[in-house]
Amino acid sequence: MLFYLRNLCIAFLFASFFPQLCTAQFLSGSSVIGPHIGVSNVDRATVLGLKFEEGITGVGPGFIGGSAKVDYYSWNSGGVVQTYIFITASANYHLKLDDIPNLDPFAGIGIGYLYVTNNFPATSNIQFYNNSGSGFNFVFSAGARYYLSPGFALRLEFGTSQVYAVGGFDFGF
């Protein structure tokens, strides 16, 4: 994890010193996809995930994009393992900044489905466990992409639901 954060910091410094190389922005009709790593609401478990987003239309000083995201994380305590898969669909508003064309701030709202599974050791004598944690959740998020080139961006995103924060990178196409 430290290796990942160190590389993220180096990329931000590089982009700060060479802004002329970074003249991209998320626009209507463009698509991005990329992996991320982050922190969940369950004992701060590490989240691994993938996000796809498609620019839909321009509205006011920005654009609306539709995104889909899949997050996976697991928690282990005393042999009891809980596994979480969180699938979300969101509408995001991206603010177009003419002064900083490589920065893409956004905020979104959506809905997600959380799927929870549980594994218990045979010695626990637990016969049944209610997966009441599974179900639909509202998702609110805010974040930003920083484009290092027209087809590559760093992403930092904060949420209010099952996954608190993620950092990753996106490839545009």
The verdict on residue 10 lying in a domain is no
Amino acid at 138: F
Residue 44 belongs to domain with CATH number: 2.40.160.20
The verdict on residue 152 lying in a domain is yes
Q: How many domains does the chain have?
A: 1
How far apart CA 35 and CA 18 sit, in angstroms, is: 25
* Coil vs helix vs strand at 124: helix
The verdict on residue 145 lying in a domain is yes
Task: State mean pLDDT over 11-32.
Answer: 55
The verdict on residue 64 lying in a domain is yes
Strand partners, 10: none
pTM of this structure: 0.77
Query: Using one digit for the tens of pLDDT, what is the confidence trace for 123-162?
Result: 666 655 555 568 899 999 999 999 998 889 999 999 987 8
Burial class (CB in 10 A: 0-12, 13-18, 19+), 118: middle
**Which of the residue ranges 17-31, 38-52, 86-100 would you say has the lowest mean pLDDT?**
17-31
Contacts of residue 81, Cβ cutoff 8 Å, sequence gap at least 6:
74, 75, 118, 119
Count of residues in the chain? 173
Q: Is the pLDDT of residue 76 over 70?
A: yes
Round the average pLDDT of the chain to a whole number and report it.
Answer: 82
141, HSE (Cβ side, Cα atoms, 13 Å): 35
How far apart CA 138 and CA 162 sit, in angstroms, is: 10
Query: Using one digit for the tens of pLDDT, what is the confidence trace for 117-127?
Result: 877 776 666 65
Per the structure, the complete domain to which residue 62 belongs is given by 26-172
Which alpha helices (DSSP H) does the chain contain, by range?
Answer: 2-17
Query: Using one digit for the tens of pLDDT, what is the confidence trace for 79-88?
Result: 778 889 999 9
DSSP-derived pairing of the beta strands 31-40 and 62-77: unpaired
The verdict on residue 61 lying in a domain is yes
The verdict on residue 130 lying in a domain is yes
Binned at pLDDT 50, 70 and 90, residue 44 comes out as confident
The verdict on residue 96 lying in a domain is yes
The verdict on residue 14 lying in a domain is no
| Phi and psi angles of residue 14, each rounded to the nearest 5 degrees, phi first | -60, -45
Task: State mean pLDDT over 102-111.
Answer: 95
